[in-house]
Structure 1
Amino acid sequence: MDRNTDMFSNLPSSLLIIIASFLSFKEAARTCILSKQWLNIWREVENVDFDENNFVKLDESEENQKVQREVFINFARQFIANHSQQVIKTLGLRCSKPGNFLVDMQNIVMFATSHNATGLRLDFSDPTWREDAIMNHEAVFELPSHVYEHGQALESLKLFSCWFDASKFTNFSAIKSLSLGWININIGSILVILESCPLLETLRLKKCWNLEYFEISQPGLRLQNLVLDKCDIRHEWLAIEGPRFQFFKYSGKVGQFLLENQRDMVEAELDFGMQTEFEEVGAFLYDLLQELFAARILTVCSVFLQIIPSGDEPLGLQAPLDVRKLTLKTALHSNEYCGIKFMLRSSPRLETLTIDIGPARIFPDYEPPYPFDPEELWSRNFQVEFCVIETLRVVNVKGFKGTRNELYVLRYLLHFGRAMQELNLYASNEGGDNGENREFYMGRAQIVLGFYKASRNVSISVL
């Protein structure tokens, strides 16, 4: 067969539509330039996504953005007018300033419900809103009434800056995934939603406010995944009793956590970057970490590393973690050293360690739990962790610059890592597009190549 033969030209349009449906909506639209056969294929895909980010440029003037948003709305109007498929699976709509196009917003949502969409994503949040700001923003759009009537067909729902009536969620009995963001919501509404959605498996809350506390204690819930992302929980108290999570992510301030019976936990992410002061809350994080003991994959932040050793047990957990893959989001500042040691000592089965280097909140009033010399801490003078010697096989360093602190840690891991098989250094892209800084960082990696290696099988890659 001729290698230059276009195999797609022999396929029927029905099959091309299926192929295009595996692409993102933006990529599917680009297929119209391939040939006349592909010209209108993208218009028949089952996953539709109207995203103003593909039209509106935030770095341009407000006047230009206004014109670009008009073009975006006209695009959506024409697509809906020319769409001939009877059913669509999912519809996404992102528009940060819907006020001037409320009728169009209503029509787009009606287009989804009238075509029996099982997934609906409505995002009216403004990308200029700061996630770490204290200021809260009122929802700019209200969920149309016909969505509640269509609720039984929905399996996934996302509502960002979109007000809704929780008491009308009784019709959403088929929903498995729910994401709520940038809205005023209280714990009572959360509990009503949980009672109304018995099949709910994933709940994500992002930048929600007016939550006095967060508690889930209903028996029989199917909830497996919980994400609380920078929500304003007034009393910083979270209690979970009943659901057995597989994935748990928390981003916010340090508070009191009670997560009972989490033996099914697979992955957890902890980010306390919103904590503004170094306080004596190490015991809270100690207890939380102990409750996440079953997680095989764990990610922690710089604030966590600075605070966790300040509890009653500064050297490590009494009951070890089962974590096999550990990611440390860190600046590799000396304030984090005791926390890094704490995590290594608490993870005797650790196989993969990822050190993700980047900017972090470093507390000026930090006090170490015990006196140490930054260089000697990574030497024989301190007890070497069991996982470093026996189980650690892969170390990834992202954002490598070859600073002195980075070299201390890498020399330590190579010197004692008898089981190590891979060390992957991903040079930082920081410093502009000319590549000069990256070339310098790549050069610093040559120092690591000269370190003593306890493992004869370790390979070092500089990327």
Structure 2
Amino acid sequence: MTTNTDPLSDFHDDLIIVIITFLPFIDAYRLCMSKKKWYDRSLWLHCRSFELHEASFMMPDSRQYWLSIGRRTQVMYMKRIGRLKYFHFVDRAVCRLASEFLTKFSFRLYYSSNIYRQNIDKWIEIVLEKSVQELSLDFSDGDPVVPQPTLRNPQYVLPHCFYEQGMCIRVLNINSCGLGLCNFVNFIQLTSLALTRVRLSWAAMENIAHNCPFLETLSLVECYRIFKVEITLRTLGLRKLIVRHCQSLSLGIELWLPRLQYFEYAGKMVPFDMRGMDDLEVVVLDYRLDTRYSYNGDDIESLFNPFSDARILQVSTSALKIFPTECLLCGRQLFQFWQLEHLTLNTGLERFELAAIICLLISSPNITTLSISTGAIMHTPDFRPNYFPLSRGEIWTTNGSILDHLECVQFEGFTGKICEIDLVKFLLRNSRSIKELNIKQLIRATSSVTSEAFKEINQAVAASGGVVINWS
């Protein structure tokens, strides 16, 4: 007499189907692969969350090996074969999906030929008929061996059925395809929209803003031929807006969003017109450095003043480079962040970033936490910064404590450079309420240099007698 040691063997198919409806597609497929009868009956097709990318069919380890020995042709061949297998698998699976509705449908297929168009149209129509709630359509090459500009390749264009049957979609992500009709009038439940590498016009932006009343999150990444981001519909409940590296935004960004809480911008310096941003809490700024441009105080004032009510601010190293030294030479206060509680600086701590760091610290008297992250410096040999005559001692000179509310400082990537030591000593000297200073050493930093730096910082004058310095 044999004993069945597999507790799943006696489970009825109906129970397995119920379990599968709660699993992501990959897990559902693996579960059915464990039992031949489940796989033969295609129980995995009852999954309600379908998420599959072409990279899963391309044997990444093998491709990496061929690429490492210079066999690029072999890698390209493997990618084509893997993409073809992926396409046929998805085509069969989508047409046989057994669930009456879907919670999520996500795929990535590099659109390199128009022969895929009719099949993809059919996929979209099927999942829309199943009232899909989260839809992600990605036609980019996530792992390009030979990157090609988007405009040189055939581009998939969303079909009319996409706009006619989008009533149930709540989360929508579109990458590297044409919007086509671009009429979001039926997307009444849409709460999150992400557009990446999409041609976006002013009319399309207006259509989205006016037809999606419940939109809370909008992300525009590397969109092109968009000259202005203008959202001035005060009744729109948008809470999070991300604009990163869009082309060309020559007319800037104009916003009137009373409920906006998070704003992130990365790209070149553009005009900002912000109104009614009373609820704004988090601002992330990553201005791209233009080496041909000579910056002045008015430029910096226009870039930071619109966010004076922010509570959390993150600034990148490129944005730090553009601060003119007149901020320190003339004592001119360009802006004031009275509401700011947390400041994050992603910096290379170059000499020409010091003016910005000091200016931001002086302009944020009420911050309670400060995070400093140092990383690889992007060298810009063509950059000619403004005249910087201050000596090392003059740079860090201030009159009295300026950070009375600062309690905690996190410093990541410490290497023991003179600028890093001076900055830490500056914070200790001008923060009467500081309780904790956490310094995390960069792994590749020289131990002898950092040990001397640790000794110097531990012996530094501190305005607060109760500060604890932690090294890691």
TM-score by shorter chain over 0.5: yes
Deviation larger for 279-288 or 175-184:
279-288
Describe the SS at the equivalent of 1:356: strand
Is 1:382 matched up with 2:398?
Answer: yes
Match of 2:358 in 1: 341
Contact 1:294 1:322 in 2 (8 A): yes
Query: For 1:32 and 1:70, how far apart are their aligned partners in 2?
Result: 24
2:86 matched residue in structure 1: 72
> Deviation per CA, 1:57-91, whole angstroms, max 9, x where unpaired?
47541111112222322442454366432221121
Q: 1:345 to 1:42 in 2, by over 3 A?
A: farther
* Contact kept? 1:256, 1:284, Cα under 8 Å: no
Match of 2:52 in 1: 50
Distance change >3 Å, CA 118–CA 314, structure 1 → 2: farther
Shift of 1:215: 2.0
1:444 match: 450
Match of 1:325 in 2: 342
Deviates more, 1:156-165 or 1:391-400: 391-400
Q: What is the identity percentage for the equivalent residue pairs of Structure 1 and Structure 2?
A: 24
SS at match of 2:117: helix
Q: 1:344 to 1:191 in 2, by over 3 A?
A: same
- Cα deviation code 1:303-347 (max 9, x no counterpart): 221223467786544543312111111100010001000110111
Decide whether the 8 Å contact of 1:353 with 1:396 is kept in 2: yes
Q: Tell me if the contact between 2:218 and 2:241 (Cα under 8 Å) persists in the aligned partners.
A: yes
Q: Please state whether the residue corresponding to 1:284 is helix, strand or coil.
A: helix
Q: How does 1:86-235 map to 2 (within 5 A)?
A: 86-99=100-113, 100-127=115-142, 140-235=155-250
SS at match of 1:158: strand
Counterpart code for 2:79: Q
The answer (yes or no) to whether the contact 1:316–1:343 under 8 Å persists in 2 is: no
Instruction: Give, in angstroms, the shift of residue 375 of structure 1.
Output: 4.9
CA contact (8 A) 2:139 2:177 kept: yes
Please state how far the C-alpha of 1:206 moved relative to its aligned partner: 1.1
Once the two structures are superposed, the pairs formed by residues 246-325 of structure 1 within 5 Å of their partners are: 246-273=261-288, 275-280=290-295, 282-309=297-324, 315-325=332-342
TM-score, scaled relative to structure 2: 0.81
Given residue 371 of structure 1, which amino acid in structure 2 is its aligned partner?
P
Other structure's SS at 1:87 match: coil
Query: Which ranges in structure 2 are unaligned for 5 or more consecutive residues?
Result: 68-74
Distance 1:342 1:98 in 2: 49
Partner of residue 402 from structure 1, selected from 412, 416, 425: 416
Distance change >3 Å, CA 234–CA 290, structure 1 → 2: closer
Check if 1:240 corresponds to 2:255. Answer: yes
Once the 2 structures are TM-superposed, how far is the Cα of residue 394 of structure 1 from its aligned partner?
A: 2.1
Q: Is the CA contact (8 Å cut-off) linking 1:252 and 1:275 kept in structure 2?
A: no
Structure of higher CA gyration radius:
2
Match of 2:438 in 1: 424
CA gap of 1:295–1:28, structure 2 versus 1, over 3 A, is farther
Matched, 1:372 2:374: no
What is the distance in 2 between the residues matched to 1:66 and 1:398? Answer: 42
CA distance in structure 1 between the aligned counterparts of 2:363 and 2:149, rounded to whole angstroms:
35
Counterpart check, 1:359 vs 2:376? yes
Shift of 1:221: 1.9
Runs (5+) with no aligned partner, structure 1: 430-436
Shift of 1:171: 1.7
Q: Deviations over 1:249-281 (max 9, x none)?
A: 111111211111211101111111253434225
TM normalised by structure 1 equals: 0.82
SS across alignment from 1:151: coil
Moved more, 149-158 or 26-35: 26-35
Residue by residue over 1:154-209, the C-alpha shift from the partner in whole angstroms, topping out at 9 and shown as x without a partner, is: 11212111112355322222212111121222212211221222222222111111
Which amino acid counterpart does residue 392 of structure 2 have in structure 1? P
* Contact 1:204–1:228 (CA under 8 A) maintained in structure 2: yes
